[in-house]
Structure 1
Amino acid sequence: MINRRSVLRTGGVAAAGALGAAALASTADAATATHTSHHHHQGDPDPTGGVTRTLLQEHPSPAKGWNAVQTLVEIPRRKESGRHSHPGVEVGYIVRGDVVMEFDDRPSLRLRTGDPFFIPSGAIHNARNVGKVTTMMLSTYVVDETQPLVTTY
């Protein structure tokens, strides 16, 4: 049984690390990643500090070998999730806040409270809080159960 209130994180990067076979990859390199977008907050020694991903639920998907995982991601003001990808799709909703979702392979998206979003499998992205409050995002993933939920870059 998963404690839905447990906050699971590794280092300064949000991480849902206790997901059984979908355990997270190491996030140690996230803070020292050499690639930064032109929007990166220069001079912030810990751009992902305080970011959390709370595991709400995890269930086997009807598709064999896949899991459905739901999390609540919180990103403090002027912080970001860090560049990462997932081994499946992410379907999300901005519960509160204002973010720019940056992608390596497509234009950025500005998302505000009430906006839905979809991130394709394997797409490298970074959610950057550009608002005045801690952003809260509800994210549901359908992911390969043999892979880490999050791979950081």
Structure 2
Amino acid sequence: MLSRRMFTGCAICAAIGFAADDASAQAPNGIKRKIASRIDGPIEGYETLEVFVDIEPNFIIDWHTHPGTEAAYTLEGDGELHIKGEAMKMLKPGFSWLTPSETPHTLKNGSQATKLFVTFTVQKGKPLSTPVPAPT
């Protein structure tokens, strides 16, 4: 049976975790994204996507991983970022971070809308994001 938490995780991953080869997938309520650039590389079998991500106030992006690196920059808003094995980080305009490949992470948005600019360098043909259980 699909739990509420797992359903939310799956919905979130559908929003920012479209399959790398299906960039036209629809985002669920709570997140909007716009692909600014998509190119092959930097090495064979990978592609780089530059994406503007808008997150509604108080929205939670559940725990997930990516099949490559995620480099993000906060343009507007605030929130809490949790990356497995690291201290919680506070998002605010100008804050940037790098999430290593296959590293679980989650984001809890603050009371205002947040806008991020995210660069994904991921393996082609794999889902951009995969839901995972919260680390213990």
Same structural fold, with TM-score higher than 0.5 when normalized by the shorter chain: yes
From 113, 119, 130, the counterpart of 1:134? 113
Give TM-score scaled by structure 1 length: 0.68
Give the 5 Å matches for 1:92-131: 92-130=72-110
Partner of 1:143: 122
Structure 1 spans left out of the alignment, 5+ residues: 1-10, 25-47
Give TM-score scaled by structure 2 length: 0.76
CA RMSD of aligned residues (A): 2.6
Q: Which amino acid aligns with 2:79?
A: V
Identity among equivalent positions (%) equals 24
Deviations 1:114-133 (A, max 9, x none): 11111111111111112x32
Partner of 1:42: none
- Shift >4 Å, 4+ stretches: 21-24
Structure 2 spans left out of the alignment, 5+ residues: 1-9
Please state how far the C-alpha of 1:143 moved relative to its aligned partner.
0.6
Q: Structure 1 or 2: larger helix share? A: 2
CA distance in 2, matches of 1:87, 1:19: 10
Q: Which amino acid aligns with 1:15?
A: I
Partner of 1:87: 67
